[in-house]
Amino acid sequence: MSNIIHVSHLTKDYKKGKGVFDLSFSVGKGEAFGFLGPNGAGKTTTIRQLMGFIRPTSGTVSINGMDCFLQAATIQKDVGYLPGELPLPEDLTGEQFISFIAKLKGISDIFYAHQLMQRFQLDGKQKMRKMSKGTRQKVGIVAAFMGQPQIFILDEPTSGLDPLMQNEFIQLVLEQKAKGCTIFLSSHIFEEVERTCDRVAILRKGKIASIQPIDTLRHQQSREFHFSFSSQEGATVFYQKMGGTLQEKTVILLSGKEQLPSILQMASSLDICDLSTKSQSLEDTFLAFYGEEQK
């Protein structure tokens, strides 16, 4: 897989611990790469350097082999970019703004833009100043996707959207992936990342704490088993033999999949009346990197 986005030892130091430090990663052609981290972790700082808006203190950032700062104008024409904060002109309508962006990017046919507006139920005749946060976000999505580029850089793309439109956006991203597009997606919505991304980088205090394939994270997820018994005696016996946490007639176990046969065999020999499971989510994995710090 050839690399479309390449970041090597990237540092942007704003002093007093602010910025990003020694980031290195690559995003391959046709890959969807998730970028996770809380506010202030450095996600937007990284994206602004990818778009060539700010120059690195040190290190290199390139897209399609071009320097993101020195060749920013060329790169920006070929990238579908959705910023975290949309600087939309208040006196323009949605349609006027979309037409303006189309001219900047040299897009002569905006038929696909109108399809996207219909898909996301966007009233393009409304003035920007009268739009809600979610409606403004829809304008940004249309502007980013209407040129059907091969590369997308998306910063909190579903901010302000209702669940129905969030799901519609996920479907749109999956369609672009199926076409072989390369996607760099920063998000706080874990379902969005789980459903769309191939790999995930977790950012902590301006540094990469981990980069993992989504499939690897799923495989590493622990599973929580809730065994409910008809009697307290059955629950106590199971607890004494298998461990876990005893809550009245229910025993809670944290276990990997490989232990499931022996767990079920033990439970079946007692008066079990119910069993439920819960897998650790990507959100749980993310919070594990911050839990100790928050405490």
3-state helix, strand, coil in the chain (%, to 5): 40, 30, 30
Q: Verify that 61 and 103 share a domain, yes or no.
A: yes
Check if the beta carbon of residue 54 is closer than 8 Å to that of residue 12. Answer: yes
Q: Verify that 23 and 133 share a domain, yes or no.
A: yes
Q: What mean pLDDT do residues 252-268 have?
A: 72
Q: What is the CATH number of the domain that holds 185?
A: 3.40.50.300
Q: 32-81 pLDDT, tens per residue?
A: 999 988 888 899 999 999 999 999 999 999 999 999 999 999 999 889 99
Q: What is the CATH number of the domain that holds 239?
A: 3.30.70.790
Q: Verify that 127 and 245 share a domain, yes or no.
A: no
Q: Quick one: pLDDT at residue 190?
A: 76
Q: Quick one: pLDDT at residue 238?
A: 86
- The C-alpha atoms of residue 62 and residue 71 are separated, in whole angstroms, by 9
Q: Verify that 193 and 240 share a domain, yes or no.
A: no
Q: Verify that 115 and 59 share a domain, yes or no.
A: yes
Kindly state whether residue 69 falls inside one of the protein's structural domains.
yes
Output the 3-class SS for 3-58.
EEEEEEEEEEEEECCEEEEEEEEEEECCCEEEEECCCCCCHHHHHHHHCCCCCCCE
- The C-alpha atoms of residue 154 and residue 144 are separated, in whole angstroms, by 9
Q: Quick one: pLDDT at residue 76?
A: 92
Kindly state whether residue 154 falls inside one of the protein's structural domains.
yes
pTM: 0.79
Kindly state whether residue 133 falls inside one of the protein's structural domains.
yes
Q: What mean pLDDT do residues 257-270 have?
A: 74
Q: Verify that 93 and 20 share a domain, yes or no.
A: yes
Binning pLDDT at 50, 70 and 90, where does residue 196 land? very high
* pLDDT of 8 above 80: yes
Q: Verify that 51 and 146 share a domain, yes or no.
A: yes
Q: 270-292 pLDDT, tens per residue?
A: 888 888 877 666 666 666 666 54
Picking from 147, 177, 178, 144, the residue whose alpha carbon sits closest to that of residue 158 is 144
* pLDDT of 211 above 60: yes
Q: Verify that 173 and 273 share a domain, yes or no.
A: no
Q: Quick one: pLDDT at residue 117?
A: 96
> Among 218, 234, 268, which residue terminates a domain?
218
Structural domains counted in the chain: 2
- The C-alpha atoms of residue 98 and residue 141 are separated, in whole angstroms, by 10
Query: 223: part of which helix (H) or strand (E)?
Result: strand 223-229
Picking from 140, 135, 137, the residue whose alpha carbon sits closest to that of residue 98 is 140
Kindly state whether residue 284 falls inside one of the protein's structural domains.
no
Burial of 212 (0-12, 13-18, 19+ CB in 10 A): middle
Check if the beta carbon of residue 155 is closer than 8 Å to that of residue 83. Answer: yes
Q: What mean pLDDT do residues 204-214 have?
A: 89
Looking at per-residue confidence, does 77 or 173 come out higher?
Answer: 173
Question: If you average pLDDT over every residue of the chain, what do you get?
Answer: 88
Q: Verify that 111 and 247 share a domain, yes or no.
A: no
Q: Quick one: pLDDT at residue 295?
A: 44
Q: Verify that 62 and 131 share a domain, yes or no.
A: yes
Kindly state whether residue 285 falls inside one of the protein's structural domains.
no
What three-state secondary structure class fits 100?
helix
Looking at per-residue confidence, does 131 or 264 come out higher?
Answer: 131
Q: Quick one: pLDDT at residue 25?
A: 96
Kindly state whether residue 265 falls inside one of the protein's structural domains.
yes
Kindly state whether residue 268 falls inside one of the protein's structural domains.
yes
Residue 162 belongs to domain spanning: 3-218
Q: Verify that 251 and 214 share a domain, yes or no.
A: no
Instruction: Report the amino acid identity of residue 12.
Output: K
Q: Verify that 204 and 227 share a domain, yes or no.
A: no
Picking from 217, 216, 234, 222, the residue whose alpha carbon sits closest to that of residue 260 is 222
Kindly state whether residue 125 falls inside one of the protein's structural domains.
yes
By percentage, how much of the chain surpasses pLDDT 70? Answer: 90
Sheet strands side by side (includes 250-255): 245-247, 250-255, 223-229, 272-279
Q: Quick one: pLDDT at residue 94?
A: 92
DSSP string, 141-172: HHHHHTT--SEEEEESTTTT--HHHHHHHHHH
